[in-house]
Structure 1
Amino acid sequence: MILLAATPIGNLGDASARLRSTLEEATVVAAEDTRHTAQLLRLLGIENRPELIALHDHNENERAASLVERARSEDIVLVSDAGMPTVSDPGFRVVQLAAESGVPVTAIPGPSAVITALAVAGLPTDRFAFEGFLPRKSGERGKVLRELAPERRTLVFFEAPTRLATTLADLAGAFGSERRAAVCRELTKLHEEVRRGSLEELAAWAADGVRGEIVVVVGGAEASEVSPEAALAEVQERVRGGERLKDATRAVSEATGLSARELYAAALADRA
């Protein structure tokens, strides 16, 4: 079978007894970075030296089939550099193909930066969405953020420290400067830090530079108190003022959380 094994995201003490015993008995480990995994084995005091096969973003598509086929006759342990494989890490294609091929897949639960950040952020946890890394190009990033602005679930992002200040400023611009958020840095490590505040406050704090591995948690949009009728009237007023219908519906949607598609359709129907 395929065994997805969660590894520590910082503190080696978070390695479970099940993870240790699995690595002690493994004959084959597919790893995001074989050098990193070899070091992890040494640090955990694992004497076993399994065959290490590199499995990363650039070769997963071509290696998935051979790993799944091999898993028909022996266990394949799959690990990423930290946390649970397949969650913004390699492994998805292997699991997808294994499921299609009837090869069993199981998981050895453990550390997750997404869940850890969500738990400590101090923001609602009943409903959330993980968005991974935002696009690097400003135009693409802006488009994604405009689409996410009315999302009422708590949002979780990964970000590189060198791009954190820019991303927080973009979030403030798209979501509103007062939207509550938390920047979780170096989770489970010696210099762990959770900085909470508004997006505007966090952007100003990050402007001086931040180091370490970063998870950003952003509170969801407040429920709109604007009725669909009032929102439609606002769209119509904007159009009379010279805005294109598409731009007007998008702006009102972002401000109210109401569906841009439904506002657009209602405006067209009202014209008929």
Structure 2
Amino acid sequence: MGKLYLLPNVLGETEFAAVLPLKVTDTLKKLRVFATENPKNTRRLLKKIDKGIDVDQLVFLDLNEHSTSREIESCLAWLEKEDVGIISEAGCPGIADPGAELVALAHAHSYTVIPLVGPSSILLALMASGCSGQHFSFNGYLPVKTPERVKALKAYERQSAQEKRTQVFIETPYRNLKLFQEMLAVLSPSTMLCIACDLTTEKEYIKTLSVQAWQGKLPDINKRPAIFILYAAHRP
């Protein structure tokens, strides 16, 4: 009976040794079966880690948002025979990333699940934001249509103020600027807003200001992977 390893990946163009512990890269080299969102990218990652890896001898199982329950269950047949690794496209498996359903199945069938340490853009942004890390929510993507998105922003802001809860969410990179401008238009001037882009890379950008202080500023976030954080609790 194999074990299920949860393997983090880098968040962008950066040196593996700078963000991934040796145990992660060592485990990647030893595994033969990978459940992955993008097999092509996983092959490329493995060759970057060790050019000696023969990727043609490895097994790559599709695990993405379009995978059916039957396809995910088929991964268990491999776990019955040997260790399997879930490799994130960026960051950590199961955190704003496919993998949770296979992990749940592994637990249901008594397979050992081993999470390995690596970068999570959500946690790194929260750490660097200056907003409360005691009580927070990751809300994924906001609605695409403007009326629903404005309604969601106001609801998150209201909940943040009432519960002292930090609200974390993401956006499709090409819509970053539109979201930023909408936030400045609808959120309270005193609400704190953090934007964190390209974390752990040379282009890393992290800035927290009040909505009022952001007015007139246009951060360089267009088409860049970003985390947005708002915190509306009263500050002395």
- Shared fold, TM over 0.5: yes
Q: Please state whether the residue corresponding to 1:149 is helix, strand or coil.
A: helix
**1:79 and 1:134 mapped to 2: Cα distance?**
26
Mapped to 1, the partners of 2:70 and 2:234 lie a distance apart of 44
Match of 1:28 in 2: 33
Q: How many residues align?
A: 223
Do the aligned partners of 1:154 and 1:217 also contact (CA within 8 Å) in 2?
yes
Give the aligned residue type for 2:4.
I
Distance 1:209 1:90, change over 3 A: closer
Q: Distance between the aligned counterparts of 2:73 and 2:191, measured in 1?
A: 45
Q: Deviations over 1:130-162 (max 9, x none)?
A: 112212122332332233122221121112332
Which residue in the other structure is 1:40 paired with?
A: 45
Retained in 2: the 8 A contact 1:165–1:204? no
Answer 1 or 2: which has greater helix percent. Answer: 1
* Residues 40-62 of structure 1: per-residue CA shift (max 9 Å, x gap): 11222253333222211111533
Q: In 2, are the aligned partners of 1:124 and 1:154 still within 8 Å (CA)?
A: yes
Looking at structure 1, the residues matched to 70 and 181 of structure 2 have their Cα atoms a distance apart, in angstroms, of 39
* Normalised TM-score (structure 2): 0.84
Match of 1:170 in 2: 182
SS of alignment partner, residue 90 of structure 1:
coil
Q: Say whether residues 1:132 and 2:110 are aligned partners.
A: no
Closer, same or farther in 2 for the Cα pair 1:78/1:46, shift >3 Å? Answer: farther
The structure-2 alpha-carbon separation of the partners of 1:6 and 1:207, relative to structure 1 and needing over 3 Å to count, comes to closer
Matched to 1:31, the amino acid is: T
1:133–1:157 contact (8 Å) kept in structure 2? yes
Unaligned runs of 5+ in 2: none
8 Å contact kept, 2:170–2:227: yes
CA contact (8 A) 1:5 1:77 kept: yes
- For residues 157 and 234 of structure 2, what CA distance do their matches in structure 1 show? 10
**Aligned-partner Cα distance in 1 for 2:176–2:223:** 10
Deviates more, 1:154-163 or 1:43-52: 43-52
2:106 alignment counterpart: 98
Alpha-carbon distance between aligned partners in 2 of 1:85 and 1:208, rounded to the nearest angstrom:
28
In the alignment, which residue of structure 2 is the partner of 1:57? 65
CA distance in 2, matches of 1:59, 1:106: 22
**Greater relative contact order: 1 or 2 (C-alpha under 8 angstroms, separation 6 or more)?**
2
Q: Helix, strand or coil: the match of 1:146?
A: helix
- Whether contact under 8 Å (1:2, 1:77) holds in the other structure is yes
Distance 1:204 1:99 in 2: 50
List gaps (5 residues or longer) in structure 1. 224-272
Distance 1:69 1:222, change over 3 A: farther
Q: Tell me the distance in 2 between the aligned counterparts of 1:209 and 1:71.
A: 41
AA at the equivalent of 1:205: K
